[in-house]
Structure 1
């Protein structure tokens, strides 16, 4: 499927300091929850753990457009994420993306029995 023109994305690979995975993951989870509640122009904001590299996390982001990304960056929860993650991160590699084709489905949710 061809996505709407102008969709903007980022892929960031974080290399964490030894022993900081749990703290980074908690900060990322809080950030994802705030993005979900407050950002209609953020289409996707996901933090992945890397099975083969326990000190790496990948954050994948998609925005309706670059204006939506700019709004995202100005949110208090993103300013907090940028400030607080410094103490957990050894290095970060940011890759800007444009989307050529996509298949998107709603993410599954956990059901509590």
Structure 2
């Protein structure tokens, strides 16, 4: 078993306007998330035929990297502000077993 720690989160927004505002909130948070060294993947998906749903896949180097992500101000702001746009949130925490992942960036 490897050390990766991941989440799959399904958000359902209230309506098309809320989806747009939620997307803008996420895009602002991504400015900071892109600089988090332990956040390996942070991708937002829209399922086919479900325009009000957003599915996030987040992969962290390990649990400590996830905790560091949660402690960031841009993440705290997104967590605080997101509820006004949503009607539901479903979270699955995932422990990595095996697979293909992005290569570590050269430093």
TM-score after normalising by structure 2: 0.87
Distance 1:105 1:64 in 2: 11
Give the C-alpha shift of residue 85 in structure 1: 0.6
Q: Which of 40, 45, 48 lines up with 2:42 in the alignment? A: 45
The alignment partner of 1:81 has SS state of helix
Distance 2:101 2:4 in 1: 13
Is residue 8 from structure 1 mapped to residue 5 from structure 2 by the alignment? yes
Q: Which of 64, 82, 100 lines up with 1:67 in the alignment? A: 64
Does the 8 Å CA contact 2:7/2:59 hold for their aligned counterparts?
A: yes
Distance 1:33 1:66 in 2: 22
TM-score after normalising by structure 1: 0.83
Is residue 24 from structure 1 mapped to residue 31 from structure 2 by the alignment? no
Distance 1:29 1:51 in 2: 21
Gap runs ≥5 in structure 1: 107-113
Give the length in aligned residue pairs.
102
Structure 1 runs of 4+ off > 6 angstroms?
none
Does the 8 Å CA contact 2:40/2:102 hold for their aligned counterparts?
A: no
CA RMSD of aligned residues (A): 1.5
Is residue 87 from structure 1 mapped to residue 84 from structure 2 by the alignment? yes
